[in-house]
Structure 1
Amino acid sequence: KGLDLHDIKIIVQWGYTSSLSALMQRLGCGARDPLLTAVGIYLVKPIYFD
């Protein structure tokens, strides 16, 4: 089923995701309440930027 949390304000993705759509799915879990704003933080190793 999963969790139904509406007030998540910060999403941290630690590590590389297999695709952009997987990243967007995870970051999209924030601020389900339309009155809130969420921040997504994507932390990956520097090797992915070379």
Structure 2
Amino acid sequence: MERVKSAFEAHRVGVSYRGSSVRVSPNVYNTQDDVGAFLAALKEGLEL
């Protein structure tokens, strides 16, 4: 989980952590770039 947290912080993606889960709350104001940053951070954090 620490690797995932570090990746989100490095990509400046705001999420919240609930135990061993990550809560993502997209909204109408998120851009395609925001979604891309989230996916890049997730991929990096999970080493996909």
Q: TM > 0.5 between the two? A: no
What TM-score does the superposition give when structure 1 sets the normalisation length? 0.31
Instruction: Identify the structure with bigger relative contact order (alpha carbons < 8 Å, sequence gap 6+).
Output: 2
Max Rg structure: 1
What TM-score does the superposition give when structure 2 sets the normalisation length? 0.31
